[in-house]
């Protein structure tokens, strides 16, 4: 697989914990460009522990900023989900819109919050 992968916060935490699930993911994305959003950086830095490990992870991944295009995508997604009665947490909405705006596949363990978002490709692992 030679693609752009954006790690959701939950997947980043799995990587930090070095879990079997993270090994499966890392093997799957070994030939991919790996990214993380500024929203996930925020969520990770809220943690009280493993801050050194978080910094090391951030050195290995490119960070995607929440841009104007991301904001426009987020507003579009928000309106669509609101009409459908399928609202998700705001942080997840911002992560999804950033992945879409940057043509990334999102690696997440939280499929339920992301599965109803149009134009978002999810990594199945």
* Portion of the chain with pLDDT greater than 90, in percent: 91
- Helical residues (DSSP H) of the chain, grouped into ranges: 9-17, 20-28, 38-45, 51-60, 68-84, 90-101, 111-114
pLDDT digits (tens, 9 = 90+) for 59-85: 999 999 999 999 999 999 999 999 999
Phi, psi dihedral angles at 49 (to 5 degrees): -125, 165
Say what the pLDDT of residue 125 is: 82
Evaluate if pTM is beyond 0.95: no
pLDDT digits (tens, 9 = 90+) for 36-57: 999 999 999 999 988 999 999 9
8: nearest Cα among 30, 27, 25, 32:
25
Say what the pLDDT of residue 22 is: 92
Domain span at 108: 4-122
Q: What CATH number is attached to the domain comprising 99?
A: 3.40.50.1010
């Amino acid at each position: 697989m030679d693609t752009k992968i954006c790690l959701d916060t939950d997947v980043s935490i799995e990587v930090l914990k070095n879990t079997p699930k993270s090994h499966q993911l890392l093997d799957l994305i070994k030939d991919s460009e790996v990214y993380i959003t500024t929203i996930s950086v925020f969520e990770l830095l809220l943690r009280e522990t493993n801050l050194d490990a978080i910094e090391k992870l951030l050195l290995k991944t490119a960070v995607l900023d929440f841009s104007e295009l991301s904001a426009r995508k987020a507003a579009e997604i928000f309106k669509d989900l609101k009409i459908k009665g399928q609202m998700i947490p705001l942080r997840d909405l911002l992560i999804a819109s950033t992945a879409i705006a940057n043509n990334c596949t999102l690696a997440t363990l939280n499929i339920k919050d992301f599965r109803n978002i149009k134009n978002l490709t999810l990594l199945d692992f």
